[in-house]
Amino acid sequence: MAETTRPRPDGPAPDARGAPARLERFAPVERWLHWANATLIAVVVATAAILYVGPLSVAVGRRALVRTIHVYVGLTLPLPWLIGFLGRWRGPLLDDARRINRWSADDKRWFLTRGRGRGVRLGKFNPGQKLNAAFTVGAIVVMLATGSIMHWFKPFPVDWRTGATFVHDWTAIFLFVAITGHVGIALSDPEALRAMLRGSVSAEWARRHRPRWHDEVVGADLPHEVGRG
Amino acid sequence: MPIERSSPVGRRVFLGMLGLGAAGIVWGSKAQDAMEKLFAPITAKDGTGLSSLLPVGRFRIYSVTGDLPSRSTTAYSLKVGGHVDSPYTLSFAELTAMPSLQLTKDFQCVTGWRVHDVKWTGVRLGDLLDKAGTKPGARGVVFTSFDGEYTESLTLEQARRSDVIVAYDMEGHVISSDHGGPVRLYVAPMYGYKSCKWLDSIQVTDTPPPSGYWEVRGYDADAWVGKSNGRDDTPTA
């Protein structure tokens, strides 16, 4: 695959060996897509909780209004993706989409050993991140389809509305678990979180946690120790 | 990332989810029924309330206004009037002193959820209408809620069915405010939106019953479970 990620000398001066101290991890378009998507998801999750969790329904009321917000904000979910992937600026997104799709032998080993395999060298993303990204995209499509059937049920066979509700409810539960995990892990790794906020990570973080990506970006000729992700 | 062999796991996850989602839309209503049977014994014994978060066999609390209406049994009164010979008002104590009826039936919402075997106690709506004496030409019955917003209606014939009650007890307790207490309508053979919560007044009309809150918003007026709103649920009557 074409390598588009290049070290960006935006941090402290390069170290003694000439390697940059910080590496660009997420381009502006990627960060924009992430946070635009996260904001919309936060609104649909909050309104979903009000519609679904008894005590919250009772505390907030205004069911018709909450439902309208949930439906229409939900329908805007594809917009950031379309803007991101259809514009001239899509290069970094396409590159990362390819990385997320492909699982290397190391990824499989990391996944099967739950991150404890010896000698596993990860690329830009760990398999948990890859799985989370694929699941999130799949869930958005499934939620849009089932939510639309629930809302505009007239043209569909009668069973489908119940079926769509069933899928929408269970996907929501899995999505809630995935989001909670995603946010929890991000908060426990400030350097990784910083990459999504400011764009870069320290070269040290990359070498320890994403050695294969580090070498790709910096050039494999530099000395390194084998990281374990 | 290169040369080395890799597999498109991301694409498989994505396509797998679309496949499962489509299967769920088509066969989900059968799966839902099966899960309700499976989960019923678990939710019945669950003391933590956590199982109420699962989308199985649970009431969902719907209110159309900002605040959850609440009224104590001592402050409560029910007004019966309109096209009748003798309008009257009943206190909670007077209502519960009338001959009562117990119904154990499923509660089916038009949005798909169903709660099996809910035990309701109340007074037949027909008895309350007889007490007021409907005048000749009476055609409909309108219900208003003390939430100040919600209304519902039935034809006089529907209102006189023996499985339409003004309920004040659910599962052995005075109906809680979440569930529309202290007094609500329970129209057993129809979808839940007919069972007006926080019942405030019952008015007989000499016109066809006017549309209720959700009927104005597109729901069917004759809301028979399994025979309206494009649904085919098992009837609850």
CATH of the domain at A45: 1.20.950.20
Burial zone of B228 (CB within 10 Å; 0-12 exposed, 13-18 middle, 19+ buried): middle
Please judge whether A169 and B55 are an interchain contact, meaning their C-beta atoms are less than 8 angstroms apart.
yes
Mind listing the pLDDT tens digit for each residue in B78-131? 999 999 999 999 999 999 999 999 999 999 988 777 888 899 999 999 999 999
Domain map of chain B by residue range? 9-53, 77-216
CATH architecture of the domain B77-216 equals Alpha-Beta Complex (3.90)
**Chains A, B: CB contacts under 8 A, how many?**
155
A176 within some domain: yes
B231 CA to chain A: closest CA distance, Å?
5
Q: Which residue has the tokens 């007890």?
A: B169
CB contact under 8 A, A161 and B230: yes
Average pLDDT over residues B206-212: 95
Alpha carbon of A12: minimum distance to chain B alpha carbons (Å): 27
Least CB–CB distance from A54: residue in B7, B178, B231: B178
User: Is the pLDDT assigned to residue A1 strictly greater than 60?
Assistant: no
Whether the predicted pLDDT of A48 surpasses 50: yes
Q: How far is B155 from chain A (nearest CA, A)?
A: 25
Contact criterion met (CB below 8 Å) for A122 and A110 = yes
Dist CA A148 CA A122 (whole Å): 39
Residue A13 resides in a domain:
no
Q: Is A225 inside any structural domain?
A: no
Burial of residue B137 (CB within 10 Å: 0-12, 13-18, 19+) is exposed
Q: Is residue A46 part of a domain?
A: yes
The stretch B144-165 carries a mean pLDDT of 96
At A135, is the pLDDT very low, low, confident or very high (cuts 50, 70, 90)? very high
Place of tokens 């709506």: B125
Q: Which residues of A touch B66 (CB under 8 A)?
A: 60-62
**A5 in a domain, yes or no?**
no
Whether pLDDT at A55 is above 90? no
Which residue range(s) make up the domain with A74? Answer: 23-218
Q: Is residue A93 within a helix (H) or strand (E), and if so which, with residue range?
A: helix A91-101
